[in-house]
Amino acid sequence: MTSCVVGLDLAGSPRRNTGFCVLTGATSTRLKVLHEDDEILTQTMDARPSLVSIDAPLTLPRGRASLEARGPPHLRECDRELLRRRIPFFPLTLGPMRMLTARGMRLAAEFTGRGMPVIESYPGGAQDALGMPRKHAGIEPLRAALKRYGMRGDVERPEITHDELDAVTCALVGRLFVLGRAESIGDPGEGIMVLPRRLRTTPSTEGRPARSPRRPPTASATRGES
């Protein structure tokens, strides 16, 4: 049986769309829009993925007791690396990002508790690394870039949402991670984020196996807009 990766462009609230992608093999995509935690868990478990790639912060900055605590620290080392690379993002303690972070950590804990490895991804940063337009450029330019990278299946469906395309990007990051063609930024003791290695343009060449993904500890264009 061909292995698959699930990509989740997670929304902070169940009232908003969460993009869901099952990437089977290197190129075959199956897409949906989901809402409630239960359906996200069920659909992911039914896919039996080798990896779940989630667009949401999955860890807290070192020294921060909770999301509710006031004041610093606001950034993790992986966030500081995004700053150094001039990749825009919202800090996880900023407004609605708190809800997204709490939801991401909760779902990551559910997945890992059921034996599913999880990584934190960021589609905007991944699209930058792969030379793709972000969703602000429009659905069609991003769809075309993903198709040039080899994505097929539901990504070609006439009606599609930017949430689903970002979920495809998350799944692609997961696939590249499995193949050893992605990099982990941040402090492993605090929380890492996975980005593709820069300027990769084809998914066809198999790479060496990557190390096992880190388990979250406790547990768009610009991130957090979904």
Domain encompassing residue 65:
4-196
The tens digit of pLDDT for each residue in 160-202 reads 999 999 999 999 999 999 999 999 999 999 999 999 987 534 4
Nearest to 6 by CA among 44, 63, 32: 44
Amino acid at 178: V
Unique residue bearing structure tokens 């034996």: 115
Query: How large a percentage of the chain has pLDDT more than 90?
Result: 77
Is 103 domain-assigned? Answer: yes
Q: Name the residue among 135, 193, 191, 137 with its Cα closest to residue 165.
A: 135
pTM: 0.87
Question: Is residue 203 pLDDT above 80, yes or no?
Answer: no
Per-residue model confidence as pLDDT tens digits over 46-75 = 999 999 999 999 999 999 989 988 888 999
For residue 120, what are the contacts with CB-CB under 8 A and spacing of at least 6? 54, 55, 56, 57, 58, 59, 78, 104, 191, 192, 193, 194, 216
Residue 46's CATH number: 3.30.420.140
Count: domains in the chain? 1
Position 149 in a domain: yes
Domain membership flag for residue 101 = yes
